[in-house]
Amino acid sequence: MQAAFITESGPPECIQFGELPDPSPGSGEVLIKTEAVAVNPIDTYIRSGAIAMPRPDTYVVGCDVAGEVLEVGSGVDRFQPGDRVWGTNQGIHGRQGTFSEKVVAGAEWLYPIPNGVSSETAAAAALVSITVGLGLYQHAKLQSGETFFVNGGSGGVGSIAVQTAKAMGAKVITTAGSDDKAEYCRSIGADLVLDYRQADMDEQLNAYLEENGKIDLWWETLREPNLERTIPLMEKRGRVILMAGRDAKPVLPLGPFYTNDLSLIGFAMFNATSAEQLAVAEKINKLLANGALVPPIGLRLPLSEAAEAHRQQEAKTLEKSSPLLGKIVLSA
Ligand SMILES: NC(=O)c1ccc[n+]([C@@H]2O[C@H](COP(=O)([O-])OP(=O)(O)OC[C@H]3O[C@@H](n4cnc5c(N)ncnc54)[C@H](OP(=O)(O)O)[C@@H]3O)[C@@H](O)[C@H]2O)c1
């Protein structure tokens, strides 16, 4: 099969594209004919070596996959050949990745693609929707009527967070760095969209909060959280999710933090068990099926362009120099 893989860490150019042996499913595993995969920031951190994850010597990059089941190993009863499935959590914890024409994954990490949902949509939603679901449903328990803030409402995580929070009945505030991204955020239901390039953004936010009440749940997607700014904006018993920025050391203003019964929640999606992720995936599948959740796709490439896909993802997440709106999806 054709695959995008690395044999050592390095820049995007270290990704090779070529022939690898076809994998076959062992007990409890499923062989998938890949139709679409999507890029996430973690793919680039693993490739570059910025985060140390155990990985096979010849490591196929990528975590997300969507496609058709070709074969199932012994003991798999949730799927059969011909089923369409999506999944994430491959390419981590020593598991092989997904940017290949065929992928073997443990059945416990796979979910059916709802009827009417394309493989590229399922792949684009995979890691980010599990992340958002874990954050909103499991960790922070967002309630209907609460005010929810997320930075970067057109980003991979942000766009799913806006739509999921809206579907859960929250009032949603988000930010964007261009007019078209702000327009997109409004189109997916954000109640207030702030342009983070504007010097008076905080005044606009404060004016809105004075009228509507403070923020119950703040989801920080930025790798450099500014808690001195965030904490005073929080409602009593508010929660702040921090899930990016391994080297960040933000200052915590303790007075307004503990005297308002606030909580900080940190999590990494890859720590969640397969049962926890399955519970989230079932909720996500309902949103995908009824059209409440549609991940934006900003760039489509063939699998052979995996290195370019990583360059584009790095420009977006690390260099913050990309006009790209939406996920990068590759077809096999
Ligand atoms: N802990 C976990 O389990 C987990 C899971 C998934 C992702 N992550 C991490 O979460 C982060 C986001 O991932 P992603 O896939 O959403 O990345 P992404 O698609 O690159 O999105 C980044 C977002 O940040 C926004 N942004 C940039 N500068 C900003 C600023 N000054 N103010 C407000 N927003 C700003 C961008 O908005 P514009 O495009 O409008 O500029 C964009 O929407 C990454 O660091 C990733 O590693 C963690």
In whole numbers, what is the pLDDT of the chain averaged over residues?
97
| Residue 248 predicted with pLDDT over 90 | yes
**C-alpha dihedral, 109 to 115 to 119 to 125, nearest 10°:** -60
Q: Is 154 in the pocket of ligand 1 (CB under 6 A)?
A: yes
Residue 104: is its pLDDT beyond 90? Answer: yes
* φ and ψ at residue 263, rounded to 5 degrees: -130, 140
Every domain of the chain and the residues it spans: 2-113+296-331, 128-269
Question: Please, which pLDDT band fits residue 175 given cuts at 50, 70 and 90?
Answer: very high
DSSP 207: H
Ligand 1 pocket: which of 221, 229, 310 to mutate (most atoms <8 Å of CB)?
221
Question: If you search the block for the tokens 């499935």, which residue do you land on?
Answer: 85
262 close to 234: Cβ distance less than 8 angstroms: yes
For the Cβ of 221 lying below 6 angstroms from any atom of ligand 1, the answer is: yes
Q: Which class in CATH covers the domain with range 2-113+296-331?
A: alpha beta
**Bridge-partner residues for 3, per DSSP?**
18, 100
Question: CB–CB of 79/30 below 8 Å?
Answer: yes
β-sheet bridge partners, residue 239: 217, 263
- Ligand 1 atom nearest the C-alpha of 155 is 43
Q: What is the pLDDT of residue 293?
A: 98
Q: Is 244 in the pocket of ligand 1 (CB under 6 A)?
A: yes
How much distance in Å is there from the Cα of 47 to the middle of ligand 1?
18
23 lines ligand 1 (CB under 6 A): no
- The number of the ligand 1 atom at minimal distance from the alpha carbon of 271 is 3
* Rounded Cα distance, 161 and 271, in Å: 19
Taking the domain 128-269, which CATH number applies? 3.40.50.720
| Dist. CA 62–CA 38, nearest whole Å | 7
- DSSP secondary structure letters along 247-300: T------HHHHHTTT-EEEE--GGGS-HHHHHHHHHHHHHHHHTTS----EEEE
Task: State in Å: Cα 154 to ligand 1 middle.
Answer: 9
Does residue 196's CB lie within 6 angstroms of at least one atom of ligand 1?
Answer: yes
Q: What is the pLDDT of residues 227-241, one digit of tens each?
A: 999 999 999 999 999
d(CA 141, CA 134): 9
Q: Is 176 in the pocket of ligand 1 (CB under 6 A)?
A: yes
Calculate how far, in angstroms, residue 152's C-alpha sits from the geometric centre of ligand 1.
6
Give me the pLDDT at residue 17, please: 98
Cβ-contact 67, 35 below 8 angstroms: yes
- Ligand 1 centre to CA of 69 (Å) is 32
Q: Which atom of ligand 1 is nearest to the CA of 153?
A: 43
Q: Which atom of ligand 1 is nearest to the CA of 158?
A: 16
Closest CA to 123 of 67, 54, 51: 67
- Indicate if the pLDDT at residue 320 is higher than 90: no
Which whole number is the average pLDDT over 211-221?
97
Query: What secondary structure does DSSP assign to 142-155, as a single string?
Result: --TT-EEEES-TTS
Ligand 1 pocket check for 152: Cβ under 6 Å: yes
Res 263: pLDDT: 98
Q: What pLDDT, on a 0 to 100 scale, did the predictor assign at position 86?
A: 98
Q: How far is the CA of 316 from the centre of ligand 1 (A)?
A: 8
* pLDDT > 70: percent of the chain: 100
Q: Say yes or no to pLDDT of 321 above 90.
A: no
Ligand 1 pocket, mutate which of 44, 51, 157, 164 (most atoms under 8 A from CB): 157
Q: Residue 283 in contact with residue 142, Cβ under 8 Å? A: no
Residue nearest to atom 22 of ligand 1 (CA): 155
Same fold, 2-113+296-331 and 128-269: no
Going by alpha carbons, the residue nearest to atom 35 of ligand 1 is: 152
Q: Is 110 exposed, middle or buried (0-12, 13-18, 19+ CB in 10 A)?
A: buried
Summarised one tens digit per residue, pLDDT across range 84-103 is 999 999 999 999 999 999 99
Instruction: State whether the beta carbon of 327 lies less than 6 angstroms from ligand 1.
Output: no
List the residue whose alpha carbon is closest to atom 34 of ligand 1: 152
